[in-house]
Structure 1
Amino acid sequence: MSDKTTEPTHPTGGGPGNLPPETHSFVGRRGELHWLETELDPSVGIHRLLSIVGVGGVGKTRLALRALGRVREAYPDGVWLVELSPLHTAGLVGLAVVEALRLTDQSTGPVTEVVAEWAYGKRLLLVLDSCEHVLADCAALVQTLLPALPGLRVLVTSREPLGLPGELVLPLDPLPVADDAVTLFADRAAITGFTLDAANRPTVEAVCRRLDGIPLALELAAARLCELSLAQLHGRLGERPPSRLDLLSAPRDGAGPPRHQTLRTAIGWSHELCAPLERLLWARLSVFAGGFCVGAAEEICAGGPLPAGRIAALLARLVEQSIVQRHRTDPARFRLLDIVREFGADWLRALGEEHAVRLRHRDHFRRLVRQGWTEWNTGRQVAWCERTLTEHANLRAAMDCALTDPDRRIALGMAADLGFLWRHCGSLRDAQHCLDLALAVDPPPGPDRTRALWARGAVALLQGDLEVAADWAERCTDAADTQADPVAVVAAAYLTGGQLALSGRLGEAIDVLSATPRLPIRQDGFGAAQLQVRVALSFSHLLRGDHDRARTVAEEVREASVECGESWAGAFADGIVAQTDLARGEVRGAVDNARTALAGHGLLHNTVGTAMALDVLAAAVVAAGDGLRAARLLGIGERVWELTGRAQMDSPDLLATRRSHELRIRAEIGDSAYRAAYEEGFGMQYEEGLDYAAEGR
Structure 2
Amino acid sequence: MCEKTTGGRPGNLTPQTRSFIGRGEELDRLGQELDPGTGIARLVGVVGAGGVGKTGLALRAAARAEPHYPDGVWLVELSPLHTAGLVGLAVVEALGLSDRSTRPVTEVVAEWAAGKRLLLVLDSCEHVLADCVAFVEATLPALPGLRVLVTSREPLGLPGERVLPLDPLPVADDAVTLFADRAAEAGFTLDPADRPVAEAVCRRLDGIPLALELAAARLADLTLDQLSALLGERLPSRLDLLAARDGDGPPRHQTLRTAIGWSHELCAPLERLLWARLSVFAGGFCERAAQDVCAGGPLPAGRIPGLLARLVEQSVVRRRRDDPSRYRLLDTVREFGADWLRALGEEHTVRLRHRDHYRRLARAGCAEWNTGRQAAWCERTLTEHANLRAAVDCALTEPDGPLALQTVADVAFLWRHCGALREARHCLDLVLGTDAPPGPDRTRAAWTRGAVALLQGDLEAAANWAVRCADAAKAQGDPVAVVAAVYLRGGQLALSGRLSEAIEVLDAAPRLPVRRDALGAAQLQVRVALAFAHLLRGDDERARTVAEEVRAASRACGESWAGAFADGIVAQADLVRGDVVAAVANARTALAGHALLHNTVGAAMALDVLAAGTVAAGDGTRAARLLGIGERVWELTGRAQMDSPDLIATRRSHELRVRGEIGDRAYEQAYARGRAMPYEEGLDFAAQRG
Please tell me the TM-score bracket, short chain as reference.
over 0.9
Q: Equivalents in 1 of 2:267, 2:373: separation in Å?
A: 40
Residue 190 of structure 1 is matched in structure 2 by: 184
Q: Which residue of 2 aligns with 1:674?
A: 667
Hey, what's the Cα distance between the residues in 2 that align with 1:244 and 1:165?
44
Is this contact kept in 2: 1:246–1:265, CA < 8 A?
no
Q: Which residue is 1:241 aligned to?
A: 235
Partner of 1:28: 22
Determine the structure 2 residue equivalent to 1:688. 681
Change (3 A) 1:14 1:521: closer
What amino acid sits opposite 1:549 in the alignment?
R
State TM-score, norm by structure 1: 0.98
**Rounded Cα–Cα distance in structure 1 between residues aligned with 2:185 and 2:574:** 62
The equivalent residue for 2:602 is: 609
Distance 2:677 2:181 in 1: 41
| CA drift at 1:242 | 2.2
Q: Secondary structure at the match of 1:200?
A: helix
- The residue correspondences of 1:341-420 to structure 2 (distance < 5 A) are 341-420=334-413
Q: Secondary structure at the match of 1:113?
A: helix
Aligned to 1:88: 82
Cα deviation for residue 680 of structure 1 reads 1.8
> Which deviates more from structure 2 when the two are superposed, residues 475-484 or residues 147-156?
475-484
Amino acid at match of 1:566: E
Q: Is the 8 A contact 1:500 1:508 kept in 2?
A: yes
Please give the alpha-carbon distance, in whole angstroms, between the structure 2 residues aligned to 1:591 and 1:312.
49
CA distance in 1, matches of 2:677, 2:405: 43
The answer for unaligned runs of 5 or more in structure 1 is 1-6
Partner amino acid, structure 1, of 2:496: S
Aligned partner letter, 1:158: S
The 8 Å contact of residues 284 and 326 in structure 2, kept in 1 or not, is answered as yes
Shift of 1:191: 2.3
Runs of 4+ in structure 1 deviating by more than 4 angstroms, as ranges, are: none
Compute the displacement of 1:675 (Å). 2.1
User: 1:528 aligns to what?
Assistant: 521
Task: Give the aligned partner of residue 3 of structure 1.
Answer: none
* Distance in 2 of aligned mates of 1:487 and 1:665: 45
Amino acid at match of 1:274: C
Q: For residue 114 of structure 1, what is the amino acid of its counterpart?
A: V
User: Conserved in 2, the CA contact under 8 Å of 1:15 and 1:73?
Assistant: no
Rounded Cα–Cα distance in structure 1 between residues aligned with 2:491 and 2:4: 33
Match for residue 656 of structure 1 among 630, 646, 649: 649
Q: 1:525-553 CA deviation, whole Å, 9 max, x = no partner?
A: 00000000111111111111111111111
Determine the structure 2 residue equivalent to 1:542.
535
Equivalent-residue separation in structure 2 for 1:223 and 1:317 (angstroms): 11
Pick from 554, 563, 583: which aligns with 1:561? 554
Q: Which deviations, in whole Å up to 9, do the C-alpha atoms of 1:97-125 show, x marking residues without a partner? A: 00000000101010100000100110000
Contact 2:3 2:97 in 1 (8 A): no
Provide, for residues 321-372 of structure 1, a one-character-per-residue CA deviation record: whole Å limited to 9, x for no partner: 0000001200000000000000000000000000000000000000000000
What residue in structure 2 maps to residue 165 of structure 1?
159
Partner of 2:57: 63
SS class of match (2:121): strand
Query: Residue 593 in 1 paired to residue 567 in 2?
Result: no
The question of whether the paired residues in 2 share the 8 Å contact of 1:503 and 1:652 is answered with no
Instruction: Output the amino acid matched with 2:301.
Output: A
Amino acid across the alignment from 1:163:
G
Could you say what secondary structure the match of 2:15 adopts? coil
Deviates more, 1:623-632 or 1:243-252: 243-252
- 1:686: how far off? 1.8
What's the counterpart of residue 497 of structure 1?
490
Q: Which whole-Å deviations, capped at 9, do the CAs of 1:430-478 have from their partners, x for residues lacking one?
A: 1111111111113132211111000000011111111111111111111
How far 1:687 sits from its partner (Å)? 1.7
Structure 2 unaligned spans of 5+:
none
Identical-residue share of aligned pairs (%): 78
Structure 2 Cα separation of the partners of residues 536 and 371 of structure 1: 26
TM superposition shift of 1:132: 0.3
SS at match of 1:325: strand
- What amino acid sits opposite 2:83 in the alignment? T
CA–CA separation in structure 1 for the residues paired with 2:343 and 2:653: 67
Contact 1:250 1:261 in 2 (8 A): no
Equivalent positions of 1:207-286 (< 5 A) are 207-251=201-245, 254-286=247-279
1:172-205 deviation line (CA, Å, top 9, x unaligned): 0000000000000000001233222221100000
Check conservation: 1:348, 1:354, Cα contact below 8 A.
Answer: yes
Per the alignment, residue 141 of structure 2 pairs with: 147
Q: Which amino acid aligns with 1:42?
A: P
The CA distance in 1 between the partners of 2:461 and 2:147, in whole Å, is 36
Q: Distance in 1 between matches of 2:207 and 2:201?
A: 9
Which piece of structure 1 moves more, 21-30 or 317-326?
Answer: 21-30
Name 2:432's counterpart in structure 1.
439
In 2, are the aligned partners of 1:80 and 1:127 still within 8 Å (CA)?
A: yes
Shift of 1:490: 0.5
- Number of aligned positions between the proteins: 690
Partners of 1:193 and 1:97 lie apart in 2 by 40
The 8 Å contact of residues 8 and 681 in structure 2, kept in 1 or not, is answered as no
Does the alignment pair 1:16 with 2:10? yes
Look up the equivalent residue of 1:464 and give its one-letter code: G
- Distance apart, 1:246 and its partner CA: 2.0
Cα distance, 1:11 vs structure 2 = 4.2
Question: Which letter does structure 1 place at the counterpart of 2:58?
Answer: A
The corresponding residue for 1:519 is 512
Query: Deviation of residue 284 (structure 1)?
Result: 0.2
Cα distance in 1, alignment partners of residues 647 and 502 from structure 2: 16
**How far did 1:133 drift?**
0.2
Give the deviation of 1:8 after TM superposition: 6.0
The alignment partner of 1:147 has SS state of coil
Instruction: Give the CA deviation at 1:504.
Output: 1.1
Q: In terms of mean alpha carbon deviation, does 205-214 or 672-681 score higher? A: 672-681
Structure-1 separation of matches of 2:218 and 2:139: 45
Quote how far apart the aligned CAs of 1:684 are.
1.6
User: Counterpart in 2 of 1:4?
Assistant: none
**Deviation of the 1:289 alpha carbon:** 0.3
How many angstroms does 1:668 deviate by? 2.0
- Relative to structure 1, is the Cα distance of residues 602 and 369 closer, same or farther in structure 2, using a 3 angstrom cutoff? same
SS at match of 1:52: strand
- Tell me, what secondary structure is at the counterpart of 2:9? coil
SS of 1:331's partner is: strand
Distance in structure 2 (CA, Å) of the matches to 1:406 and 1:417: 18
Over aligned residues, Cα RMSD in angstroms? 1.1
Structure 1 CA distance, aligned partners of 2:52 and 2:580?
61
Map of 2:33 onto structure 1:
39
Distance 2:529 2:443 in 1: 20
Q: 2:25, 2:645 → 1: CA distance?
A: 57
Whether the aligned pair in 2 keeps the contact of 1:251 and 1:261 (CA below 8 Å) is no
State the shift of 1:555 in Å: 0.6
Between the aligned partners of 1:8 and 1:435, the Cα distance in structure 2 is 24
Question: Aligned to 1:634, what secondary structure does the other structure show?
Answer: helix
- Native 8 Å contact 1:8 1:685 kept in 2: no
Q: Is the contact made by 1:423 and 1:459 (CA closer than 8 Å) also made in structure 2?
A: yes
- Measured in 2, the distance between the counterparts of 1:193 and 1:360 equals 37
- In structure 2, the partner of 1:317 is 310
1:132-173 per-position Cα deviation (integer Å, ceiling 9, x unaligned) = 000011011111111100000000000000011100000000
SS of residue in 2 equivalent to 1:154: strand
Contact 2:2–2:600 (CA under 8 A) maintained in structure 1: no
Q: Distance in 2 between matches of 1:201 and 1:679?
A: 59
* Contact map agreement 1:289 1:394 (CA 8 A) in 2: yes
